[in-house]
Structure 1
Amino acid sequence: VKEKSRLSKMGHVEFRQALYMPALVAIKHNPIIRNFYERLKARGKPSMVIVCVVMRKLLHMIFGILKNKCVFNPNQTRVRLSHSYS
């Protein structure tokens, strides 16, 4: 019997809380993230799972920007998201 997937509670609650609303806004207003959301939805992923994946993507983007001390480049993000979770 296949059970419903659950969100791991291993991470920081504050990070999850802080990234939830930005993930929803990104899904609605960012065409790159919206396309990524629709691809995962077409594969049959539940909406909440996709929101968690988007939260993780946003966290990776934030970390990359802080680590490299550079400005966000949407074209670079578009290339990376087009290859992930295909």
Structure 2
Amino acid sequence: ALAGVAPYDDDSGKYHGRRRIQGGRERLRKSLFMCAFTATRHNPDLASFYARLRQNGKDHLCAVIAVARKLIVLANTILSRKTEWTPQYQQK
């Protein structure tokens, strides 16, 4: 919520409005978007995640926002575990 990349729905009763991202800190959200956009081109793991979302029918902006959220999760994990970034992380 602090970063503002959580989807916000505009529903009321039977009406289903468009989903959008809203709230949080605007500068942080814009910076994360640009980082995610770059990561889809230069990070193989995030690029494959982006490609998988696109193949499943998500539009470009929705997929980039999903990558931005994944960047937030990665940063939070690295900071909370006090570990370094490892590009080829293998789960045990």
Same-fold call, TM > 0.5?
yes
Q: Distance in 2 between matches of 1:61 and 1:71?
A: 11
Give the TM-score of the pair, scaled to structure 1: 0.77
Q: Of the candidates 61, 65, 81, which is equivalent to residue 78 of structure 2?
A: 65
Residue of structure 2 in register with 1:25 after alignment: 38
Matches within 5 A, 1:74-85: 74-76=87-89
| SS of alignment partner, residue 6 of structure 1 | strand
Higher share of residues assigned helix:
1
CA RMSD across the alignment: 2.2
- Percent identity of paired positions between Structure 1 and Structure 2: 32
Unaligned stretches of 5+ in structure 2? 1-14
Superposition deviation, residue 56 in structure 1: 0.4
Regions of 4+ moved over 6 Å: none
Instruction: Find the counterpart in structure 2 of residue 84 from structure 1.
Output: none
Letter in 1 for 2:69: R
- Counterpart of 1:82 in structure 2 is none
1:74 aligned counterpart, secondary structure: coil
Which TM-score applies when normalising by structure 2? Answer: 0.72
Is 1:35 the equivalent of 2:48?
yes
1:13-60 Cα distance to aligned partner (Å, 9 max, x none): 122112111111100011111110111000100100011100000011
List alignment gaps of at least 5 residues for structure 1: 80-86
- Larger radius of gyration between Structure 1 and Structure 2: 2
What is the aligned residue count?
78
